[in-house]
Chains A and B, each alone.
Chain A
């Protein structure tokens, strides 16, 4: 008897050790209850609005629009949220859920550190213990975020196994969860992992597209022609796409990290270069070798440096409902600098992948067309790394 729950087409599922099965079943039951609980939703909305600063702005990037000479460009400013990224949406939802479930401890993985910072923040707010697993390589690339997490009271554990990046941090968080389940919730940071995580995280991030829709209807009286977002695991992208999936005329474009190029080994463009596999609890597309060994991926962006993609994205790709395009380090860095100079907005290097693609497609579209680009996070954390990329000897 196959359990079809938590499947997106062929993707998704629950490929995890038996030790964790009752924990995810318990989580699913709790979520199914609380998602319809008016009190839970009231508390979450209050946290979103009063604490995280929602709704985030939908900003008309007039200078950029004019400079590119094509479609009208709006930026969904998730970078203006408390903690500086979309990650807080999911974390507030999961922390509140965990608290209702009687959990007192949150564990999380983090790549760029944004999800770790958000989790540490929610844990501080709600009086919970917090442990964050971060690849050692990333603790060096994102040293400032490590300090922020510690400042917020979290313990940060550098992960030295494997490639010492995001995938290893996920593996280590899963291992930790199998050893301590009773009081601990694994606050997964993206729309990935075993069911019900891809659904839970999507639902908490769907506030992004809900707001975009309301805001664009108010400003333009119609839906956008395209929504563009960066994709690592894919949480800000699915959040940006979700309420437009049924609006077939809205193009949904996910930007994957191509690293040094999709024709090199130093890439993290999963949908472009990966193939179907089963890893980290889900069936989806993964960068892997011919024997199913997970490939060591690379991107300048620690947050997109992941060899897999969330199962719902894999499904939207299969259905042809969303397009996934590779964007290189060089293109992303150029867009990072461009948005800073043109609009006075420093985007996260992750989000700069989406900006880079918008810069490619906007000039090809007529001025009456509308593009929404999600700026998933702010770029302060990336300044030192980008300076080094440009050959400047800057350290935090």
Chain B
């Protein structure tokens, strides 16, 4: 059992996503500190990938900006060790399977353990393919986070049954990115999840406003926000950390009514 459960203890968790190295690692670091100071309960660290097939335009562009800036997996591990000197909230990596596979699964996951990364999200690694990665993750105490989608239907039970850390509930069809409304019926999905696991579930994809966060938190244990934060990073560049802090504070406030 990793540190992840602490993010959900006695509260609705706010999970903030950052693309590492956008616009540069120094700014990412300041933005993460600002998010944590303002109440972010878990930080999702995106390792950029050249061809992020599950991302919408906002995060795609952030990936390419970061790669253009010379970011690499090794630089990100060093960056996380630096962050860990003063930040204790749980960290999970979000990247694509080839980034981990190419680095060497065992080498990657052992580095995760050394940098106190608590979990790993690979959106292109479904339940059927996790066996190549899961035992290694388990060996190093890194949770391999599972996802369920609006299309999962009968798959939810088996995915939830083997899930660890938290369960990532994809709010809508399509890729990541802000949506004006989320129409999926999450109540039945979350109900099926609850029948099969006791680990917390957090909803992501498309959430950007306090109203949406509050609506999702009615069913789920937390919300994940990516594109809205990446958007702030893009808009304000090196000045973004302060704005990220303000945004996180507002989102946390919406979640605190529960």
Q: Is the CB of A15 within 8 A of B51?
A: no
Across the interface, which residues of A come within 8 angstroms of B170, CB to CB?
Answer: 17-19
Distance of A178 Cα from B170 Cα, bound (Å): 11
Interchain CB contact (< 8 A) of A293 among B50, B53, B148: B50
Asked if B155 CB lies within 8 Å of chain A CBs, one says yes
Which residue of A has the minimal Cβ distance to B173?
A179
Given contacts A23-B151, A291-B103, contact A17 B53 (CB under 8 A): yes
Asked if B233 CB lies within 8 Å of chain A CBs, one says no
Mask, A19-33, CB within 8 Å of B = 1, is 111110000000000
Asked if A35 CB lies within 8 Å of chain B CBs, one says no
Q: Is the CB of A291 within 8 A of B128?
A: no
Given contacts A16-B126, A22-B153, contact A280 B53 (CB under 8 A): yes
Q: Is the CB of A21 within 8 A of B174?
A: no
Distance of A13 Cα from B132 Cα, bound (Å): 11
Given contacts A162-B64, A167-B51, contact A21 B126 (CB under 8 A): yes
Stretch among A168-176, A220-228, A378-386 lining the B interface: A168-176
Distance between B53 CB and nearest chain A CB, rounded to angstroms? 5
Which residue of B has the minimal Cβ distance to A20?
B151
Distance of A276 Cα from B57 Cα, bound (Å): 28
Q: How large is the interface on A (under 10, 10 to 19, 20 to 34, 35 or more residues)?
A: 35 or more
Asked if B152 CB lies within 8 Å of chain A CBs, one says yes
Which residue of B has the minimal Cβ distance to A293?
B50
Across the interface, which residues of B come within 8 angstroms of A162, CB to CB?
Answer: 50-51, 64
Given contacts A3-B128, A171-B51, contact A291 B147 (CB under 8 A): no
Given contacts A162-B50, A179-B174, A278-B97, contact A14 B129 (CB under 8 A): yes
Interchain CB contact (< 8 A) of B54 among A21, A167, A178, A292: A178
Q: Is the CB of A292 within 8 A of B102?
A: yes
Distance of A376 Cα from B159 Cα, bound (Å): 43
Q: Is the CB of B126 within 8 A of A278?
A: no
Q: Is the CB of B175 within 8 A of A14?
A: no
Q: Is the CB of B102 within 8 A of A17?
A: no
Q: Which of the listed residues A15, A277, A288, A290 has the most CB atoms from chain B within 10 Å of its own CB?
A: A15
Distance of A257 Cα from B125 Cα, bound (Å): 30
Q: Is the CB of B98 within 8 A of A178?
A: no
Across the interface, which residues of A come within 8 angstroms of B208, CB to CB?
Answer: none
Asked if A342 CB lies within 8 Å of chain B CBs, one says no
A-facing residues in B70-112 (Cβ within 8 Å):
72-74, 96-103
Distance between B126 CB and nearest chain A CB, rounded to angstroms? 5
Across the interface, which residues of B come within 8 angstroms of A19, CB to CB?
Answer: 149-151, 170, 173-174
Q: Is the CB of A175 within 8 A of B101?
A: no
Distance of A52 Cα from B151 Cα, bound (Å): 36
Q: Is the CB of A288 within 8 A of B102?
A: yes
A-facing residues in B123-146 (Cβ within 8 Å):
123-129, 131-132
Distance of A176 Cα from B149 Cα, bound (Å): 15
Q: Is the CB of B152 within 8 A of A290?
A: no
Distance of A288 Cα from B97 Cα, bound (Å): 13
Asked if B28 CB lies within 8 Å of chain A CBs, one says no
Residues of B whose CB lies within 8 Å of any CB of A are 49-51, 53-54, 56-57, 60, 64, 67, 72-74, 96-103, 123-129, 131-132, 147-153, 155, 159, 170, 173-175
Residues of A whose CB lies within 8 Å of any CB of B are 1-3, 13-23, 161-162, 167-168, 171, 174-175, 178-181, 276-281, 286, 288, 290-294
Kindly list the 4 A-B residue pairs having the minimum CB-CB distance in the complex, ordered from nearest: A292-B102, A179-B174, A19-B149, A293-B50
18 contacts between A and B (CB under 8 A): A2-B132, A15-B126, A17-B53, A18-B159, A19-B174, A21-B128, A21-B155, A22-B152, A161-B57, A162-B51, A162-B64, A175-B56, A178-B54, A178-B174, A291-B102, A292-B98, A292-B101, A293-B49
Contacts beyond the supplied A15-B124, A175-B53, A178-B54: 10 A-B pairs with Cβ under 8 Å: A1-B131, A18-B126, A18-B147, A18-B148, A21-B151, A175-B54, A179-B175, A278-B97, A292-B49, A292-B103
